[in-house]
Amino acid sequence: MLEKRFLTHKLHRVAHARHYAVSWEEKLNIPAGTSLHEAKARCGEWIADIENRIATLRAAANGEGQPLTKHNAHALAGRWYSWFLAQHESDSESHQHWASMGEHLIWDIIYPLAPNEFHEDTAADPHWEWKEAAEIRAKVRPVIAEMARTASFLVAESMTLTPNANNLFLDVVEGNLLAAFARLEQLARGDFTVDERLHAQRSARGTDVICSHTGF
């Protein structure tokens, strides 16, 4: 049993090195001058990400679904956005087609689920916060999964998510899906302006190391 545990432990380290180019210790660099509050927040998010990497590799090794943190879900949804555009950027669909896809999602799928009080006074909730309710999310997710082809994307990524992780992923994809429809509509109109969403970069890392994680 001890030998088996050691072998599994070693395999996780090898897998982590292969996927993330770090086999044992990883460090977080935060710029000098960062406030203590922000530094603690970054450190907490970073540790959660590292621990999720470990859980993901262990889940994959055991044939189980992979978990996601909110940060991971947004990163994965970002990759989905690039993938989805690549699937359709050579399509001959008209700009009206892509506009109608977005309108269908908003007005035919989400809007009818609004509570009566919203229909009675739409100005009371201009940002549609009602759609964040768990029961609304549960009804919208299957449609998002179908329209966004997330199952095909996850196969392409060789990923299997836990039910909770998949729900979190679909919730983030919803906003990205509308953005993808808008981008495809833009391209269909012949507007090839740079897609800022695709080119957004994370804040540059600084040089002051304040956190480290050895993992496994």
Phi, psi of 55 (to 5 degrees): -65, -40
> What is the per-residue pLDDT for 150?
96
Alpha helices by DSSP H, the chain? 2-20, 36-61, 70-88, 95-103, 116-120, 134-148, 150-156, 163-188, 196-199
Please classify residue 149 by burial: count the beta carbons closer than 10 Å to its beta carbon, then call 0-12 exposed, 13-18 middle and 19+ buried: middle
> What is the per-residue pLDDT for 143?
96
Asked if 185 and 9 count as a contact pair (C-beta separation under 8 A), the reply is no
Give the up-direction half-sphere exposure of residue 25: CA atoms within 13 A in the CB hemisphere: 4
State if pTM tops 0.85.
no
> What is the per-residue pLDDT for 22?
44
pLDDT tens digits, residue range 24-68?
455 667 777 788 877 777 777 767 666 656 655 565 555 578 999
Averaged pLDDT, 172-177: 94
Which whole-number Å values give the CA distances from 148 to 10, 153, 177, 206, in the listed order?
A: 37, 9, 7, 36
The CA distance from 48 to 69, in Å, is 7
pLDDT tens digits, residue range 179-202?
999 999 999 999 999 898 876 633
Give which of 202, 200, 151, 144 is closest to 172, Cα–Cα: 144
Please provide the size of the chain in residues.
Answer: 216
pLDDT of 12 above 50 = no
Asked if 202 and 28 count as a contact pair (C-beta separation under 8 A), the reply is no
Which pLDDT band, with edges at 50, 70 and 90, does 104 fall under?
very high
Phi, psi of 193 (to 5 degrees): -55, 145
> What is the per-residue pLDDT for 55?
59
